[in-house]
Structure 1
Amino acid sequence: MNKHTDSYYANSIDNMPDYPQLQDHIEADICIVGAGFSGLSSALHLSQKGFKVVVLESAKIGFGATGRNGGQIVNSYSRDVDVIEKRYEPKIAKALCDMIFEGGDIIRDLINTYDIQCDHKPGGVFAALNHKQMRGLEEHKTNWERFGNDQLSLLDKNQMREALGTDAYVGGMLDNRGGHIHPLKLALGEAAAVTQLGGQIFEQSAVVRIEKGAKAVAHTAKGSVKASYLVLAGNAYLGGLAPNISNKAIPCGTQVVATQPLTDEQLQSVLPSDYCVEDCNYLLDYFRLTADKRLLFGGGVVYGARDPENVEQLIRPKMEGIFPQLKGIGIDYAWTGNFLLTYSRMPQFGCFDNNIYYLQGYSGHGVTCTHLAGKLLAETLTGHAERFDAFASLKHYAFPGGRHFQVPFTALGAAYYNLRDKLAI
């Protein structure tokens, strides 16, 4: 049986619900493969519109990146307004940029509508390590304000010290439309809402084969689902189920630790604002406090999704560099999780064989964009495909180097940008 990884998130939930394994041959309007945020958001929005929905999960709800990420509600995509407006024609660019804050709004609406207890806290900070990055945040603020975010403020070094308890940054930007959550609790709350609306969820039900046709069939080891539409929402955990889409992105691993609970004295100087934080580096670090007052700190990327031998060894120097007052603190949990990286760093949405849809490739910005993806899919299947089509029109590029060399080539490119960050050029 595939169980959750040994993370803080999984261990902080006392009564983990179990959903049945599929052992029958059933039919539905829509079959969704994957019970992460992409699949759950799709299932929830489609159920709200009256579709009969079945979700098939190979392990447990939130088993992949959904239940392992930093828990930050970060707006936009991995490529932001400046790149989008330069890269795409004006109509598409505007459509994409008009949606950059919607994912976070969807999350907050779901929390309120279904009373999901997931430790939600408002406020997220982008932290600048040098003056070049600070200038970038000033441009960032201007761009986001053009698209309707009026909850932004720039912070100088002193304000950052007061909010975060560290001298590591020259300044930053606070986004009060950001924030943080316990992502696995959010996923479980969304799953409960799906079943409340009549949807069915099956765990330990990996799809081993897809049968294409006017009605697609998803086959598992012990059953099958025949549906008018099939949605592939497995992301980095989809495996080889659909090579035509998996060859356009590569899985990458990120590492996270959670400390022992901080003392009252430590909390006076570590994130007194209780904001979540991510820095502005290409290979960024991110951190926040949990509801039980642990510091959760993550960062780094392992291309090709190989699990490092010692996560704590990778993360502790970064964490103690930001918070030297925590030097030597105990680490209670250390884990890794995979996300799916695209060459363009933009998400990949689309359809093939007329009735097989896919949602993938959030490139590290999955918490919010997955929720947008599910809403757009529901719009599409009810005859309003304009916004989904803005994403579907984006070209999917393969990584240079082919199957054997794309991982080292990508790692080499990342090393170049990491060096530029360190040199502030």
Structure 2
Amino acid sequence: MLEFANQPHAESWYAATANDATRHPVLEGTIDADVCVIGAGLTGVSAALNLAERGYRVALVEASKVGWAASGRNGGQLIGGFACDIDTFAAFMSEDEIRRIWAMGLETLDIVKSRVAKHNIDCALTQGYFTAANKPRDVDALKRWRDEAATRFGYDRFRYVDADGVGQYAQSSRYPGGLYDPDSGHLHPLNYALGLARAAVEAGVRVFEDSAVTRLRDENGGHVVETARGKVRAKFVVLACNTYLGALAPELSRKIMPVGTYVIATGPLGKERMAALMPAQAAVCDSRFVLDYFRPAPDTRLLWGGKVSYSTFAPPNLGEAMRRDMLKTFPQLADVKVDYAWGGYVDITMSRAPHFGRLKPTVYFAQGFSGHGVNTTGLAGKLIAEAIDGQAARFDLFGKIRHRDFPGGAALRTPALVLAMAWCRMKDLL
């Protein structure tokens, strides 16, 4: 049973402030395309747009709505690079190849910014990102990373901020320092996804919503993508389903784990109070493994994310539980109510490195963004289009990473991860 099919967007602040109400038709009958992309989140829409710009006939098939899953519910943080440590790649690549990976990590930011500008996407894109140290040892780690980025990769844009300067980013006594990145930032992820979809349609992509794929099969040297009421015949297929991949490709599903993550939006604080709370208007994320993240919204609300659930069960009384966490950083907001509380799944890999590859020579996939999906999905879509168009060197570089299945099989892998994450929470407290 496809319980995620034919669903409206989550009742979030993002959905309430979405600026595009376009609905796309259900797939009916049989159509032909060069490429069928399955999943209309940021990965799928990006791949479809890039392919259409290269002259391919593209059908984009979505089980619910454009941006329905993590792409339209996440914290909206635009973070350069990848979720894993850069040396995660060292086991599989040369130092020269790692430098190429680093450059692509910066390119992820450029892709988002150029798309927003080119297609006039109204998504409140804002520059500035601050990693807040939770403990003195985290200060030292952030300084080391600043120095390594400069000496190893020639990137000297990170700026260390001491305790006296933290108030520029968060008026809180909780953090002894942090690292500011002027090139990263934040945006309204659902409006960004909807804007990319509009651009894809203008480029010739046919988008179908409420059209869950029930079967993927080979036929006459190509592929047939079947839904309840239609099918797409295509030479190439792109799987952009992440945690909702399921039975379409169980061998890929074993490489990722769904993780629940949650966000609240406060009531409007007013311009003066928000400016005092977060003067730089940057996105903020703390340095713990099981982290909090927050940012200002254009209507002066505070968007606060966290409460990561590796069991996939949402915390009881979600809004109040999240509010209590927020008050640990901002006790001065004790009088502020929560207007919206929502959540959903993101996918993680064992290593937190992204998982790109081919299931078959003409079936491509991208998954495992591990919390960095707002920008890394744009790179994934671009690299998939390059590869299908015969320029696969950059895409295949990511294929060098050997991803392991999560241990425990279907029955035990979630309990095993819960125990592992409990240990990580304990380390955060030490």
Instruction: Report the TM range for the smaller structure's normalisation.
Output: over 0.9
Q: Where does the alignment leave 5 or more consecutive residues of structure 1 unmatched?
A: none
Counterpart-to-counterpart distance in 2, 1:31 and 1:15:
24
Match of 2:60 in 1: 55
Q: Deviations over 1:338-374 (max 9, x none)?
A: 1111111111111122211111011111111111101
How far apart in 2 are the matches of 1:149 and 1:60?
39
Match of 1:27 in 2: 32
Q: Equivalent pairs: percent with the same residue?
A: 38
Give the Cα separation in 1 of the matches to 2:307 and 2:61: 31
Give me the whole-angstrom Cα distance separating, in 2, the residues matched to 1:300 and 1:360.
Answer: 22
2:341 pairs with 1:334: yes
| Equivalent of 2:387 in 375, 380, 397 | 380
Q: Which residue is 2:282 aligned to?
A: 275
Query: Do 1:250 and 1:304's aligned partners in 2 also have CA atoms closer than 8 Å?
Result: no
Deviation at 1:61, TM superposition (A): 0.5
Amino acid corresponding to residue 311 of structure 1 in structure 2 = L
Unaligned residue ranges in structure 2 (runs of 5+): 1-5
Does residue 39 (structure 1) correspond to residue 53 (structure 2)? The answer is no
Check if 1:139 corresponds to 2:144. Answer: yes
Q: Please list, as runs of the form range in 1=range in 2, the aligned pairs for 1:276-315 lying within 5 A after superposition.
A: 276-315=283-322
Per the alignment, residue 95 of structure 1 pairs with 100
The residue aligned with 2:133 is 128
Give the 3 Å change call, closer, same or farther, for CA 376–264 of structure 1 in structure 2. Answer: closer
Deviation at 1:257, TM superposition (A): 0.2
Show the counterpart of 2:205: 199
> Aligned pair 1:320/2:315, yes or no?
no
Question: Do 1:95 and 1:390's aligned partners in 2 also have CA atoms closer than 8 Å?
Answer: no
For residues 73 and 147 of structure 1, the distance between their equivalents in structure 2, rounded to whole angstroms, comes to 20
Residue type of the alignment partner of 1:17: T
d(CA) in 2 for partners of 1:418, 1:211: 43
**Aligned with 1:212 (options 198, 214, 218):** 218
> What's the CA shift string for 1:157-178, capped at 9, x where partnerless?
1111133211111001110110
Q: CA deviation at 1:75?
A: 1.0
Structure 1 runs (4+) greater than 4 angstroms displaced: 86-89
2:180 maps to which residue?
Answer: 174
Indicate conservation of the 8 Å contact 1:118/1:183, yes or no. yes
What is aligned with 2:3? none
Deviations 1:218-268 (A, max 9, x none): 101110001110000011122322111111211111010000000344224
Residue equivalent to 1:189:
195
- Check whether the contact 2:41–2:193 (CA below 8 A) recurs between aligned residues: yes
1:131/1:43 CA distance change after superposition, 3 Å: same
Tell me the distance in 1 between the aligned counterparts of 2:106 and 2:306: 24
8 Å CA contact 2:130, 2:169 repeated in 1: no
Amino acid across the alignment from 2:248: L
- The normalised TM-score by structure 1 is 0.96
Q: Residue 204 and residue 129 in structure 1: after superposition, are their counterparts in 2 closer, same or farther (change >3 A)?
A: same
The alignment of Structure 1 onto Structure 2 pairs a total of residues equal to 423
Determine if the alignment matches structure 1 residue 85 to structure 2 residue 90: yes
Equivalent residue, structure 2, for 1:117: 122
| Secondary structure of the corresponding residue to residue 164 of structure 1 | coil
Counterpart CA distance in 1 for 2:406 and 2:99 is 26
Aligned letter for 1:65?
A: A
After TM superposition, the score normalised by the length of structure 2 is: 0.95
CA distance in 2, matches of 1:14, 1:74: 24
User: Which residue of 2 is the match for residue 367 of structure 1?
Assistant: 374
Cα distance, 1:86–1:131 mapped onto 2, change above 3 Å = farther
Asked if the contact 1:256/1:311 (under 8 Å) is kept, the reply is no
Question: Paired residue for 2:234?
Answer: 227
RMSD, aligned CA: 1.5
1:220 and 1:148, CA in 2 relative to 1: closer, same or farther beyond 3 A?
farther
In structure 2, what residue type is equivalent to 1:289?
P
Report deviation, 1:87.
6.4
Deviates further, 89-98 or 46-55: 89-98
SS at match of 2:45: helix
Alpha-carbon distance in 1 for matches of 2:125, 2:405: 37
Q: Which residue of 2 aligns with 1:160?
A: 166
